[in-house]
Amino acid sequence: MERLTAPAPATAPAAAPATPLLEVAELTLRFGGVTALNGVGFTVGHGELLAVIGPNGAGKTSVFNCLNGVYRPQGGRIALDGTSLVGRAPAAIAGLGVARTFQNLGLFQHLSLVDNLMLGRHHLMRTGFLAGMAWWGRAKREEVEHRAAVEDVVELLELEPYRRTPAGLLPYGVAKRAELGRALAMEPRLLLLDEPVAGMNVEETEDMARYLVQARRELGLAMILVEHDMRLVMDLADRVVALDFGVAIAAGTPAQVREDPRVIEAYLGGGA
């Protein structure tokens, strides 16, 4: 399989802690009679990129919704650096350093790209509106710091030409990149990428792959990638977990998982 990008960089810091950044164990989620997740477990190391694959309905989005607090699993454990995430609200989980990009874009259409990225930093802002009125100097300094951090993301993702463009007017590939930028502006420790190249053409996909590699190299953050584009998965992931009907049926390196007979059967059986 031809590579989309240059070989993945060694992103793990030299003295990476032995314990994983994220530990998920025995995760179980039910909707009435439907078991969306049934005892799913995996880990993500510091700076690691784990891909979660599986046919439609396998449970990939449900995993993300449990991780960022949208769903509360009926059973299992989720720990970020030893802190349990189960039962916390999405905003609290974002505050602990988990950011997410959305398949259908989470941008405010009428706001400029830069303002959308500023909103990504909202949870990092210490000065509220009233405090901002009272302490103009401090609020102003904080604003300048946040704008500088946003500009770093704009530069990293080469979004300069679109800084003032309302998100609703961005070309699709650029909007997906802006969505990545909004999540990166949160300065996450763990980034959940929900189908970052869905609906993209080959050129846009290659661009996105390059920006994801660049973001990992520059920022050293861990990522979980849910994606149907197998070429992107095989190219970017350090490890892959395959789900089918809410169960983890295989885990390992991209090559191991691609050749696993249970994974081949799940995809062929599902007609995907």
Site residues (vs ligand ATP, CB under 6 A) = 31, 34, 36, 54, 56-62
Q: What is the DSSP letter of 109?
A: T
Kind and range of the H or E run holding 252: strand 247-252
Residue placing its CB nearer to ligand ATP in the complex, 58 or 225: 58
Beta bridge partner(s), residue 23: 43, 79
Residue placing its CB nearer to ligand ATP in the complex, 54 or 188: 54
Residue placing its CB nearer to ligand ATP in the complex, 64 or 162: 64
**Shortest CB 194 distance to ligand ATP, Å:** 9
**Shortest CB 61 distance to ligand ATP, Å:** 3
**What's the maximum distance between 2 C-alpha atoms anywhere in the chain?**
64
**Shortest CB 64 distance to ligand ATP, Å:** 8
Distance of CA 259 to the CA centre of its chain: 26
**Shortest CB 53 distance to ligand ATP, Å:** 9
The rounded distance, in Å, linking the Cα atoms of 210 and 95 is: 27
Residue placing its CB nearer to ligand ATP in the complex, 66 or 209: 66
**Shortest CB 23 distance to ligand ATP, Å:** 20
Residue 59 tokens read as: 């449970």
Residue placing its CB nearer to ligand ATP in the complex, 252 or 270: 270
The rounded distance, in Å, linking the Cα atoms of 227 and 208 is: 13
**Shortest CB 112 distance to ligand ATP, Å:** 30
Residue placing its CB nearer to ligand ATP in the complex, 101 or 112: 101
Residue 225 tokens read as: 């990638």
Q: What are the contacts of 151-156 at 24+ separation with CB within 8 A?
A: 153/117, 153/181, 153/184, 153/185, 154/113, 154/114, 154/117, 154/181, 156/184, 156/211, 156/214, 156/215, 156/218
